[in-house]
Amino acid sequence: MKVVSLQSKLVKTSLISSVVAGCVALLLFAIISVYQTMQVQDEIMDEISDMLLITDLTSTTGQQIDELSEQFDIQYRLSNQQQVLTQSEEFHLDQDHYELLRANNGDYGLIWQSGQLWRSYAAADEHSHMRVLLLQPFGDRFKDLLHSFAGYALILILVWLLQWIMLHFLIKRQFSVMHQLSKQISAKNADDLSPIQTGEMELKELQPMLGQLNRLLQRLDHSLQAEQRFTADASHELRSPLSAIQMRLQLLQRKYPERAADFLQMQQDVSRGIQTLENLLLLARLDPEHAENLPKADVDLQMIIDEVIHTVSLFANEKNIQLQQRNQLNGVMVFANQQLIFSCIRNILDNAIRYTPENGKVYIALNPQSQGILLFIENEGSGIGSEILTRLGERFYRALGTKTQGSGLGLSICRKIIELHQGKIEFAASEYGGLKVTIMLKQ
């Protein structure tokens, strides 16, 4: 999809419109100026012809005619029926054109001779039988006009350049409202879903979009509040009954030892429900959090790993699974939230133990590097598909066909915790047939 700049597009459109309008105005000016110049020059030729027909050539008026003729580059010839009385020094006319002009008495015309176009005019006096022929190079009429056009065009170009600068500045200033709006939108988060305000100046065109966006933020705020209330209510309403059910099952198991296997299965189901509830509550607390607001301190990562191993060792012993640490690095400090990192590693180890066959092994290793600390946890297994790897970490996702109990939230919680610490978590197939989890934490 092509991305265009609305600001540049507005500047370009406005400037193109101005250029088109300027060119049309210049063209109209040229047409009107050419027409007016033709009218003025024709009137001058008419006045010169009248002066030649009525003027005594020996007087000062005759000298004025010569000066006027030179000024406007008009060549003339005055003759009667017998001879040529006078003519300008440069007057030249082909015989064919001469006969044509004599036939077109009192008319203006255009002739081509000497490699250029000429404006011609012929006039006669019936009483004195005198005839005047006037010639003027057509291009000489527009010399001054061409200079004017060049000046106007230069001024127009300067105006366009100035307009481009002003448009760029003014439109950029108008778009500052949109930039401010963009910053306000990017600053919104789950803790601040208040309506967006554009300040003192508001663009009318933005109001419908801004209104819809504020309504969306309001609905989102209501949804988040409803989710938090539901989580709190669910915690209160579900935790106590589930704990009570578990206690009653223990009493029934003691009272009816012959049905102990059935009660044990029921206890496991209730335990799974309690664990799912705790995971849901943890996720609900993590979602609105931000990394900058998360309380952190320097903690010993090896000490946390040792505590987690001690916590899950009973579960591992039930399946006779060995938890092997390839290297123990005391004093490896990371800047993190100790409780959340503990929950993350516990969930990963708990997941590894669940999916490791009996008498299997789970491997734990630390690898300090320049960019941070790498923690590897991998387990033995019967293989894991690429499709499963791509979906690990999604909420409530559990691979089909697995017989292990779980809610599908453990790895999702781990991903969220690592993201809150600006770290990385990756899932890959282990060389031992199970899952390999790699965590990178900054020191």
Q: Are residues 411 and 279 in the same domain?
A: no
What are the strands, taking DSSP E only, across 331-423?
333-336, 361-369, 372-380
Q: Which domain does 25 fall in, by range?
A: 6-145
Give domain status of residue 248, yes or no: yes
Give domain status of residue 171, yes or no: no
pLDDT on residue 280: 61
Q: Are residues 276 and 367 in the same domain?
A: no
- Bridge-partner residues for 297, per DSSP? 336
Q: Are residues 80 and 125 in the same domain?
A: yes
> What per-residue string of b and e applies to 16-50 under the rule 16 or more CB within 10 Å gives b?
eebeeebeeeeeeebeeeeeeeeeebbebbeebbe
Considering 95, 129, 145, which residue would you say is the last residue of a domain?
A: 145
Give domain status of residue 133, yes or no: yes
Q: Which of 135, 140, 139 lies closest to 121 in space, CA to CA?
A: 135
CATH of the domain at 112: 3.30.450
pTM of the model: 0.47
Considering 285, 301, 330, which residue would you say is the last residue of a domain?
A: 285
CA separation for the pair 360, 362 (Å, rounded): 7
- At residue 188, what are phi and psi to the nearest 5 degrees? -70, 145
Q: Are residues 54 and 130 in the same domain?
A: yes
Contact between 304 and 364 under an 8 Å Cβ cutoff? The reply is no
Q: Which of 296, 400, 307 lies closest to 349 in space, CA to CA?
A: 307
Question: What tokens does 301 get?
Answer: 């990562």
Q: Are residues 254 and 299 in the same domain?
A: no
Q: Are residues 312 and 272 in the same domain?
A: no
DSSP symbol at 2: -
Query: What's the structural domain count of the chain?
Result: 3
pLDDT by residue (tens digit) across 159-169? 889 988 888 88
Give domain status of residue 193, yes or no: no
Considering 124, 145, 166, which residue would you say is the last residue of a domain?
A: 145
Give domain status of residue 182, yes or no: no
Helix, strand, coil percentages in the chain from 3-state DSSP, rounded to 5:
60, 20, 25
CATH of the domain at 425: 3.30.565.10
DSSP symbol at 89: T
Q: Are residues 137 and 85 in the same domain?
A: yes
Q: Are residues 352 and 266 in the same domain?
A: no
Q: Are residues 18 and 100 in the same domain?
A: yes
Instruction: Give residues with Cβ within 8 angstroms of 123, minimum separation 6.
Output: 46, 49, 50, 53, 105, 106, 131, 132, 134
What's the CA dihedral at 15, 21, 26, 32 to 10 degrees?
-170
CA separation for the pair 121, 52 (Å, rounded): 13
Q: Are residues 52 and 124 in the same domain?
A: yes
Sort residue 226 into left (φ over 0), alpha (ψ -120 to 50) or beta: alpha
Displacement of CA 136 from its chain's centroid (Å): 63
Contact between 321 and 349 under an 8 Å Cβ cutoff? The reply is no
Q: CB pairs under 8 A, 24+ apart, for 23-31? A: 26/149, 26/152, 26/153, 26/156, 29/152, 30/149
Q: Are residues 267 and 301 in the same domain?
A: no
Q: Are residues 344 and 420 in the same domain?
A: yes
What parts of the chain have a pLDDT lower than 70?
A: 1, 3-4, 55-71, 82, 95-106, 198-203, 235-236, 272-273, 275-276, 279-294, 385-388, 390-410
- The CA–CA distances, whole Å, from 350 to 139, 146, 275, 371, 410 equal 99, 91, 12, 28, 9
Contact between 442 and 291 under an 8 Å Cβ cutoff? The reply is no
pLDDT on residue 60: 47
Give domain status of residue 170, yes or no: no
- The CA–CA distances, whole Å, from 141 to 59, 195, 303, 362, 403 equal 28, 70, 101, 102, 103
Estimate the crossing angle of helix 143-174 against helix 6-54, to 10 degrees.
Answer: 160
How many alpha carbons lie under 13 Å from residue 29 in its C-beta half-sphere?
A: 15
Give domain status of residue 196, yes or no: no
Give domain status of residue 36, yes or no: yes
pLDDT on residue 187: 77
CATH of the domain at 219: 1.10.287.130
pLDDT on residue 405: 47
Give DSSP secondary structure letters for 188-216: -BTTB-PPP---S---GGGHHHHHHHHHH
